[in-house]
Amino acid sequence: MDFEAARRTMVDTQIRPNDVTEPDIVGAFLNVPREAFVPASKRSIAYSEFEIRTGEGRALWTPRDTAKLIKTLDPDPDDACLVIGAGAGYEAAILAHLAETVIALEDSEERVSRLGQRLADLGLDRAVAVEGKLTEGLPGEGPFDAIMICGMVEQVPEALTDQLAEGGRLAAVVEIDEALGRGRVYTRSGDVTGYRETFDARPPKFEAFDKPDIFEF
């Protein structure tokens, strides 16, 4: 299979038509081999419009949803980025072409080992894999200019927005109801963090970010 041709087709049919036309972002998608981040049995559909499971509780989003969330994040070449629930590492790899440094956070030693090896094999020396609790981020390494959560969430913990630098952004898809999620970008200004909504999507969900059940009589 000609993966390079498939990559160009993905960009031309799934990313650019969905209002992601920034040359730096488009260039990053053209330079990262998506097939390297999926199981061998799924490589033939790596550039399809499907979500692809990459491990227990982890999946690659559709190219359209990934591209729109990265556009929402608006990474800068000088940014220090944190990718939460990095999974196979595709989003971290894209951001490694767009930002100064990327920390890819995962919650187990096994996931971190596989992720770190994949990033090294691809020569992505701006990205490093680190173990930690997803909902807590990495307060000892912040503040971050940009934070991206790689799964739909019911809520964005304050512990994460507290790790944003002044003017920093956090991008996530937040579940609105059972049928809909919405891309949001949270921006920090002084002691206040506000958000705006950018696009509709329904990617795979991170249950670790579910709201606690409220007991009612």
What is the tens place of the pLDDT at every residue in 24-34?
Answer: 999 999 999 99
Q: What angle do CA 97, 100, 106 make, to 5 degrees?
A: 80
- The answer to whether residues 174 and 199 touch, using CB atoms and an 8 Å cutoff, is no
Counting residues of the chain whose pLDDT is more than 90, the rounded percentage is 91
Predicted TM-score (pTM) of the model is 0.94
Residue 16 domain flag: yes
Q: Kindly state the helix (H) or strand (E) to which residue 25 belongs, with its residue range.
A: helix 23-31
DSSP state of 20: -
Residue 215 domain flag: no
CATH number for the domain that contains residue 138: 3.40.50.150
> Number of structural domains, the chain?
1
Residues of the chain with pLDDT under 70: 213-217
Residue 216 domain flag: no
What is the tens place of the pLDDT at every residue in 70-111?
Answer: 999 999 999 999 999 999 999 999 999 999 999 999 999 999
Beta-bridge partners for 197: 184
Q: Which domain holds residue 197?
A: 3-209
Residue 79 domain flag: yes
